[in-house]
Amino acid sequence: MAIKQQRLILKYADQPGYTNNIECYIKYGGYEQLKKAFKMKPEDICKEVIDSGVRGRGGAGFPAGMKWKFLDRKSGKPIYLICNADESEPGTFKDRQIIHKDPHQLIEGMLCAAYAIGAKLAFIYIRGEFFEGYKILEKAIEEARSRGFLGDKILGSDYSCDIIVHRGAGAYICGEETGLIESLEGKRANPRIKPPYFPAALGLYQCPTIVNNVETLCDVKHIIEMGGKAFSKIGTPGNTGTRIWCVSGHVKNPGYYEFPCAAITLGQLIYDVCGGLLPGRKLKAVIPGGSSSKILRADERFEGKLKDGTSFDWGIEDIPMDFDSLAAVGSMSGSGGVIIMDDTTDMVEALANINYFYAHESCGQCTPCREGVPWMKKITTRMCNGGAREEDIGLLTDIADQIAGRTICAFGEAASWPVQSFVSKFKDEFVAKAKEQSLLREKGEVSNQKPTLI
């Protein structure tokens, strides 16, 4: 039987009759938390966010309260808030749901956050391909403005704040916060080096800036509603609140499903929530947190110790869906994009597909990334095209090892982790492919067809 979702962020989104216009939002209690926030002191809201323990939903899982605390409030420069709605990590499609179905929740969350950090101008950086989402947000912002929730002297207070929706134009690296900031400044999205360019100190226009993901900013609204302590009771200590898991790939019912952190296991997500695999198929592998996260093999045993010292011994289906458990098994919950692969999947092709993505998206600033990632793509594409060699396997890992940790931004890791994990966990398949193809080549039966990367 399907396990019932426990929705917080998407509570109303798919309810029949719920629309994305402001009347509907207000009917369901919308903008009440903004009024509540205005009765609080900004520093008290920050305190609630710290107490809530909420961790960023954009990928890195950094505690939002702590990030806000790092904000340089003494510089005398304006402070900016940026909502990261670039949603471009392959496998992730949760921010789209919020933007399309409940844009006012995001706007209310952003205004609460902007008030708390003292920002008078906020941006929503939305990926360029979200044509419809952009229109929905523009309309929602005008609605909010006409009702006095946004703009000058909000709700009769002394506080003014505007939101600008800014469209990207198809580059994944704009999701990386400093790349995003460069892009927002009207330049190429070349990430900046940290330190010194931590956005909380030197962000947009060299001013203190907070960048948070869409889902994180929606959480802020709920933290104000229920209080940080109550929010921290959802999920487990260190893994608080709900998460929207985006499931794609080989399951019967792909889609987005919201649960408190650690409320379900990966097995429950696949079999009870998503209806399991297609008839006659077996689970082969799972990428649990967007394509950058390290792949998990279906027949692996995961043993070790959690942060709190308790030891675990899990099969893939036993892994609780939360930040720390997925980190403990050597991967990450990342952006919540869970990609399921069954036994029909050719792992070399799957990696070649991923490598194609990263080679296309490198911004080109750092030599290891600019040269190494396309090189890895070239190798895996050739391996899908009849040219696999046994030495490719070691070469791939060598290249990946020389990228990770040697670049300006975490894209270097994002592009290396898939290679390192696929090659180490499915080495047998890479070797088999190389052997098979070298035999074919010896016989002169080289296939020269255009490779399909699945």
Partner 1 sequence: MDLKETTIAKIDQLVPRYPNKRSAALPLCHLIQEDIGYLSNESIEWIANRLDLEPINISEIVTFYPMLRTKAPGRYQVRVCRTLSCALAGAYKTCKQFEDAFDCEVGSTSPDGLVTLEYVECHADCGNAPVVMIGEKEYTGVKEDVTRDLIDKIKNKTIEIG
Give me the sheet containing 242-249, strands edge to edge.
255-260, 242-249, 337-342, 283-287, 296-297
Angle (nearest 5°) at CA 229 between 227 and 235: 110
Smallest separation, CB 285 to ligand FMN (Å): 22
Show the site string, 343-362: x = touches ligand SF4 by CB under 6 A, - = not: -------------------x
Smallest separation, CB 65 to ligand FMN (Å): 11
Beta strand 337-342 with 283-287 is antiparallel
Sites for ligand FMN among residues 34-73 (CB under 6 A): 56-60, 62, 64
Question: Which among 285, 233, 240, 291 is positioned nearest to 261, based on CA atoms?
Answer: 240
Distance, CA of 225 to CA of 220 (rounded, Å): 9
315 strand-pairing partners:
301
Three-state secondary structure call for residue 386: coil
Show the site string, 382-421: x = touches ligand SF4 by CB under 6 A, - = not: -------------------------xxx-xx---------
Please tell me the number of Cα atoms within 13 Å of 231 on its side-chain side. Answer: 27
Distance, CA of 240 to CA of 420 (rounded, Å): 30
177 binds ligand FMN (CB under 6 A): yes
Per CB under 6 A, the segment of 49-57, 199-207, 229-237, 364-372 that binds ligand SF4 is: 364-372
The CA-atom distances, in angstroms, between 13 and each of 20, 49, 154 are 8, 24, 26
The binder of partner 1 chosen from 63, 227, 254, 276 (CB under 8 A): 254
DSSP assignment, residue 149? S
Smallest separation, CB 248 to ligand FMN (Å): 16
Distance, CA of 117 to CA of 112 (rounded, Å): 9
Burial 283-317 (b: 16+ CB within 10 A, else e): bbbbbbbbbbbbbbbbeeebeeeeeeeeeeebebe
Q: Which is nearer to ligand SF4, 228 or 372 (CB)?
A: 372
Show the site string, 126-165: x = touches partner 1 by CB under 8 A, - = not: -xxxxxx-----------------------------x-x-
Beta strand 121-126 with 80-85 is parallel
Q: Which is nearer to partner 1, 245 or 314 (CB)?
A: 245
Sites for ligand FMN among residues 184-223 (CB under 6 A): 211-213, 216
Per CB under 8 A, the segment of 67-75, 136-144, 247-255, 402-410 that binds partner 1 is: 247-255
Smallest separation, CB 182 to partner 1 (Å): 10
Secondary structure percentages of the chain, helix, strand, coil, to 5 = 45, 15, 40
The binder of partner 1 chosen from 53, 56, 90, 235 (CB under 8 A): 90
Q: Which is nearer to ligand SF4, 315 or 364 (CB)?
A: 364
Show the site string, 347-366: x = touches partner 1 by CB under 8 A, - = not: ---x--xx-xx--xx-x---
User: What is the DSSP track for 99-143?
Assistant: HHH-HHHHHHHHHHHHHHHT-SEEEEEE-TT-HHHHHHHHHHHHH
Smallest separation, CB 51 to ligand FMN (Å): 17
The binder of ligand SF4 chosen from 18, 227, 364, 441 (CB under 6 A): 364
Number of helices followed by number of strands (H, E) in the chain: 17, 13
Distance, CA of 241 to CA of 155 (rounded, Å): 29
Smallest separation, CB 22 to ligand SF4 (Å): 39
Q: Which is nearer to ligand SF4, 188 or 305 (CB)?
A: 188
429 binds partner 1 (CB under 8 A): no
394 binds partner 1 (CB under 8 A): no
Distance, CA of 27 to CA of 21 (rounded, Å): 10
> Which positions lie near partner 1, rule CB under 8 A?
78, 87-93, 95-96, 121, 127-132, 162, 164, 166-172, 183-189, 205, 246-250, 254-256, 287, 291, 337, 339, 341, 345, 350, 353-354, 356-357, 360-361, 363, 452-454
> Which positions lie near ligand FMN, rule CB under 6 A?
56-60, 62, 64, 84, 86-89, 173, 175-177, 211-213, 216, 409-411, 414
> Which positions lie near ligand SF4, rule CB under 6 A?
173, 191, 362-366, 369-370, 407-409, 411-412
